[in-house]
Amino acid sequence: MWVSLLTTCLGCLLIVTSARGDERMTTTTMAPYDMDASYNNSGMRYDYGEALGLSILFYDAQRSGKLPDDNPIQWRGDSVLYDADGDYELTGGWFDAGDHVKFNFPMSYSVWVLNWGFLTFSEAYETTGQTEMMCDMIRWPLEYFLKCWRPELEILYTQIGDPALDHNTWASPENINMSRPAYQSNATCPGSDVAGDMTSALASGYLVFSELCGNETEFADALLEAAKTLYKFGMDYKGVHSDCIEEAYTSSGYRDEMSAAGAWMYKVTGEQQYLDDAEGFYDAWVPWSLDWDGKAPAANLLLYEATGKNLYREATKAFIASAMPDNIIDYTPCGLMFRNNWGTTRHASNEAFIALVAAANGINQEEYMEWALSQINYILGDNNHNISYQVGFGDNYPKHVHHRGSSCIKEVLECDINYDGENPNLLIGALAGGPGEDDDYVDDRTDYVHNEVATDYNAGFQGCLAALVQFSEEGVLPESPERVC
């Protein structure tokens, strides 16, 4: 059993952890966010700028490989430095969720959604003093993606780690030493879904590092060159990666990923063929959701940004309308959109993100902002439990999230998912899966449906936070709707 004491002060977190049995103590301090003095949050029900900074730190806690000297998550250390395919080194990237597999499919989706939010709402990052932190955070997976794509061999590494073996091991990432196979896509095992998302990550990364992150021309150019060749690879060898790699995330198709990739490549290059491809992959149906598998809502909105065509505007409006109250999607009694029991906060914030990017593009601005506010405010505390589902935000938040690194002390080899105490390491900024359909929620580490965290959970959520800050700074953010519970 472990016990922990958490003390919070302005600009710092002090975590004191004891491991019963060896009487050792570890102390960790870190700055959760760097808030610029000019930031004005007076018109907000919650401090979305603070939540934005905390979300960035969650991604820093997911880092795999050799950590930098300025690593802000001091309970984390170097991990899986043996990730490789033979002599070819593949360290780096993000762990997917509470596990230690590196799944490039959801990882790359998370990266390009984060980049989209950064590019669209860059003033929010600047206003809150988060630009440098964001650039540092998002560079980590992009550097890893450059390793994963070997154009001269037409090999794309798509995943590191065996999910079955990994998921049966509850230990800190610093202490695992299991076999971690490197899975790949190639001419005989296509993966246009993964290639498409990684292309979007690289192309949007080019824009981020050429426009927002200082003098990073060399890195930005490397991202663009990789994006061009990887896009061609995805087009030349069309197929769904999980059809040939059963250990991969099961994908429903690749058209949405390749449509989004074409749209991003057109944004970057202005070359008509990319736009023609993206429009050719368009499907005229109302998508079920935006998530690691379904990218159609984002692809449609990206196509509207690229073309201004009413077709894509109406497709975007139809998707958002499907999520509004009194339509086809259920809501919990206290007002959270309930698309699926697994990761309810993820689905609500993803759809809110599409609504806020649409609002930034002049589509139903006030209506979409009001609805998005209702969802983000629920997540941050407007609910029957008065709990923030973002770890570390406010005074009441999940203390037992389903996450190995958070629940295990790296200096202690033995770790039990079933121990009674709070997680000894605060996974600051993580978005927990959230409540059930009746607003029911129990903070239980073993309940991965409601207490899992993941890189894709935070992606749309972080974009929402940036949007709300920017709209507030612009003086157009409406008053928060009344809480239901």
Positions marked catalytic: 443, 452
Provide the 10 A C-beta neighbour count for residue 19: 18
Q: Contact, 251 vs 159, CB < 8 A? A: no
Largest CA distance in the chain: 66
Determine the Cα–Cα distance for residues 430 and 401; give it in Å rounded to an integer.
9
3-class secondary structure, 118: helix
Which whole-number Å values give the CA distances from 396 to 75, 212, 385, 388, in the listed order? 22, 34, 9, 6
3-class secondary structure, 103: strand
Provide the 10 A C-beta neighbour count for residue 11: 11
Q: H or E stretch including 9? A: strand 2-9
Q: Contact, 65 vs 147, CB < 8 A? A: no
Query: In 171-287, which ranges are continuous DSSP H helix?
Result: 192-211, 217-236, 255-269, 272-280
Determine the Cα–Cα distance for residues 434 and 389; give it in Å rounded to an integer.
6
Determine the Cα–Cα distance for residues 443 and 450; give it in Å rounded to an integer.
8
Written as one letter, the residue type at 116 is W
